[in-house]
Amino acid sequence: MRTSVRTAAALLAALTLSALGVTGTSSADESRRHSATAALEPVTDFGSNPGALSMYRYTPDGLGAGRPVVVVLHGCTQNAATYFDGAGWQQAADKHGFSVVAPQQETANNANRCFNWFQSGDTGRGSGEALSVRQMVDRTVRDLDADPSRVYVTGLSAGGGMTSALLAAYPDTFAGGGVIAGLPHGCATSLVGAYSCMNPGVSKTPDQWGDLVRAAHPVHTGPRPRVSVWHGTADTTVVPRNATESVKQWTNVLGADQTADATHQLPGGTTQSDYQDSDGQVAVRSYLVDGMNHGTPVKPGEGCGKAGAHFLDTVCSTSYLTRDWNLSN
Contact between 67 and 327 (Cβ < 8 Å): no
Encoded amino acid at 221, one letter? T
Contact between 85 and 39 (Cβ < 8 Å): yes
Q: Which of 159, 186, 8, 192 lies closest to 87 in space, CA to CA?
A: 159
Alpha-helical runs (H) found in 99-190: 120-123, 128-144, 158-169
Contact between 137 and 151 (Cβ < 8 Å): yes
Q: Virtual CA dihedral for 142, 145, 150, 153, nearest 10 degrees?
A: -50
Q: Which of 236, 245, 166 lies closest to 203 in space, CA to CA?
A: 245
Which of the residues 132, 157, 246, 286 is marked catalytic?
157
Assess whether 157 carries a catalytic annotation: yes
Residue 132: CB partners within 8 Å, gap ≥ 6?
A: 47, 49, 50, 51, 52, 53, 103
Encoded amino acid at 311, one letter? F
Contact between 10 and 111 (Cβ < 8 Å): yes
How far is residue 8's CA from residue 105's CA, in Å, rounded to a whole number? Answer: 15
Contact between 284 and 256 (Cβ < 8 Å): yes
Residue 261: CB partners within 8 Å, gap ≥ 6?
A: 274, 275, 276
Contact between 218 and 280 (Cβ < 8 Å): no
Catalytic residue positions, numbered: 157
